[in-house]
Amino acid sequence: MGLLPLIPFELNKGTISFSKDCSTSCKAFGSAATLGKVESCLATWREGIHDWMVLLVLAGTRTAEIQGISAAGATSDSRRLTALADAELLLQGPSSLRRNPLPPLSGGVSPALISYVASRLIGVSPAVIAAGLFEQPLFPHFLLEPVSLGPSACLTTGKAMSCERVRRLWDRGFQMGLKLRKPLLLAECVPGGTTTAQAVLTGLGLSVSDLISGSARNPPTLLKKMVVERGLRASGLHVNPPPQRLLAAVGDPFQPVAAGLLLGAREAGQQVLLGGGSQMLAVLALALSSLQPSLRAEFVEGVAIATTAWLVEETTSLFKDASGSALLQLIDRVGKHFDVDLFGLSTGLHFHGSSQDVLRDYECGYIKEGVGAGALALMAQIDGVSCKDLVVACEEAVDELQRVAN
């Protein structure tokens, strides 16, 4: 089982054609990526694309308060409300008067804008799950625990959450997944979440410190590694800890909810599209570590990662291997660690020629992913929306944001 090359393909009004041009195409990746797999998945998804359950999980971790660890808000104070602001933009749109303004960013614009545009173009209505936030949302949502619990502690403490809290969130996620009667697209918004993802993957025994990205143009690779090492030392965990014990030490509230949802949805026989990068691979790794090895291959047959072109094409500051991007190497390491073949897809959306500076910033390495932007843009393409139409709609949404701000 080795890392296969990227498989570029075009989606023209929903029809699939394979090509050699990787610059603007959608891409399939992972050791399970074959032409047949791509055709089968896209054909199946297209038939019921408007019936998918789209869930956005909002959560918080005080890890995000570490200076320089996250670019999902220019200050630690602003990052406390990033998840609420992004969810309001996704649910209410750029022209609404939202309670929580988008946090200041060093570049780009919230990926929730892309998610809003794509979800409206395909006519799906995301639902929100909240766990571990600083404030209770004022929009409709599923609240899985009292707001008074707040975010998880910084992972450097080695005591991010109580074991009871982790167990409760995992179980509630599992019960929600078990009740699903339609495929699931799972998205997240967790400032600081790539660092907790790195901590979880490292705690599970994977060497990933050179492969984890983030919202910053130049991810703080060395800082993340130092923070993760400090947290794992403080936790006192031994090799191969139980997944829930690992989450209690260095995780965030999103992770047990998402792992439970994934396990429950698969037990209910539903396909799952994990919208994101390293955070979703950490969730998948948690789910796999909780399963007997004999059950893992069948489990992943109904699971796919969906993300943006910016993540698939990115190399981190410590990773310049010509054989593939950091994310491709990461999915390969996770698959080999659990002896399963994993499958991922990226949207063909790019903003090279956009008239909006904040959209072109994505091509410079800002933001890259979040709030299910890659997965929802991919679903829009599968439904027949062209990348050109996605770009134009995103540009119009930026104009609306600016009009409201002024």
**The amino acid at 22:** C
Residue 200: count of CB within 10 angstroms of its CB: 30
In 3D, which of 274, 304, 300 has the Cα closest to residue 289? 300
pLDDT at 2: 46
CATH 1.10.1040.10, domain 7-13+35-401, yes or no: no
State the DSSP string of 73-117: SSSHHHHTTHHHHHHHHHHH-TTS--SSPPPP-SSS--THHHHHH
Q: What is the mean pLDDT of each run of 10 residues along the chain (406 residues)?
A: 71 83 84 95 92 97 94 83 95 91 90 98 96 93 95 98 98 98 97 97 96 88 96 94 98 98 98 98 98 98 97 70 77 97 97 96 95 98 95 98 86
pLDDT at 22: 65
Instruction: Please tell me the distance from the alpha carbon of residue 202 to that of residue 31, in angstroms, as a whole number.
Output: 21
pLDDT tens string 293-345: 999 999 999 999 999 999 998 875 555 554 568 999 999 999 999 999 999 99
Residue 303 in 3-state DSSP? strand
Q: Domain residue spans in the chain? A: 7-13+35-401
User: Whole-model pTM?
Assistant: 0.96
In 3D, which of 307, 383, 390, 314 has the Cα closest to residue 347? 307
Q: Which tokens go with 404?
A: 């409201």
Instruction: Please tell me the distance from the alpha carbon of residue 246 to that of residue 253, in angstroms, as a whole number.
Output: 12
For residue 10, the cross-strand partners are 17
Q: Please name the helix (run of DSSP H) or strand (run of DSSP E) that holds residue 221, with its range, or none.
A: helix 221-235
pLDDT tens string 171-218: 999 999 999 999 999 999 999 999 999 999 999 999 999 999 888 888
pLDDT at 371: 97
What strands, in cross-sheet order, belong to the sheet with 26-29?
15-18, 7-12, 26-29, 344-346, 303-307, 272-275, 184-189, 53-58, 127-130, 142-143
- In angstroms, how far is CA 233 from the centroid of its own chain? 27
